[in-house]
Structures are given as C-alpha cells and as structure tokens.
Amino acid sequence: MAEYTPSSLQFTVEQRPGGLVIQLVGELGLPPHTDKLQSELVQIYRSRPKVLVFDMSRLTFVSSLGIGIFADANRTLRKNSGQLKLCCVQPKVMEVFERTRMTAIFEFIDKIEDAFPSE
C-alpha cells in the first residue's frame, strides 16, 4: 500500500516600494495549504497593491486549485488597477499552466527586479 505524505507550502510576503512579493516554497496542492494562501491574499487585496509578484522559483508543484488561486488573484488585482506577475516559474510548474492553457492570461517574468523597474 502506498503511503501518502501531505504536501507542504510555505510562503513569505515582502513589501517592496512598488508592491508586494510572495515567495512560494513547496507544493501548492490541496487544503489546508491553499486555504492559508487564500486567506493571506484576502488581506493583501485590502491594501490594493499596484503590483503583486509570486516568486515561484522554489515552487515544485501546482494543482488546478492552485492555478485557480492565481486566476482569482489576477482578476481581483486587475479590477483594482493592479497587476499580477509570476516570476521564475519552474519547468514542471510551467507545464501545468501550459496544459490548462492559462499562459495567455498571466504575465511571466524571469527576475523579480523586472516587476519593479524603478527600484
């Protein structure tokens, strides 16, 4: 019988002069990890950041639920004249965006600095 090890997700939020950076570490799979991130995002939306960057350099997996979180963030930020940028997406994670045909709705960048050119 296979043993199931629950996924783990850690994240940190860093304030930048032009917005926020959320570094994601681990797997963005199922609750409760997705719930914690969504709860943090609700708080972030209240501050109406102009730019929100997800640093995905250490994200090893994303589920369709995770893709939905990014889509919701993109929609919410745009509604408030903000921008969402996905940075340093690893090939395995990018494959999920490609399979779900979501690459057209997100802005992907190679370096965090690209999101904040005036820093």
Give the residue extent of every domain in the chain. 14-113
pLDDT band at 7 (very low <50, low <70, confident <90, very high): low
> Which tens digit of pLDDT belongs to each residue from 29-84?
888 878 889 999 999 999 999 999 999 999 999 998 999 999 999 999 999 999 99
CATH classification number, 14-113, choose in 3.30.565.10, 3.40.50.150, 3.30.750.24, 3.40.190.10: 3.30.750.24
For residues 75 and 104, is the Cβ–Cβ distance under 8 A? Answer: no
Hey, which residues does 16 pair with through a beta bridge?
A: 19
Q: Concatenated DSSP letters for 45-114?
A: HHT--SEEEEEEEEEEEE-HHHHHHHHHHHHHHHHTT-EEEEES--HHHHHHHHHTT-TTTSEEES-GGG
User: How much is the pTM?
Assistant: 0.90
Question: Residue holding tokens 């057209």?
Answer: 104
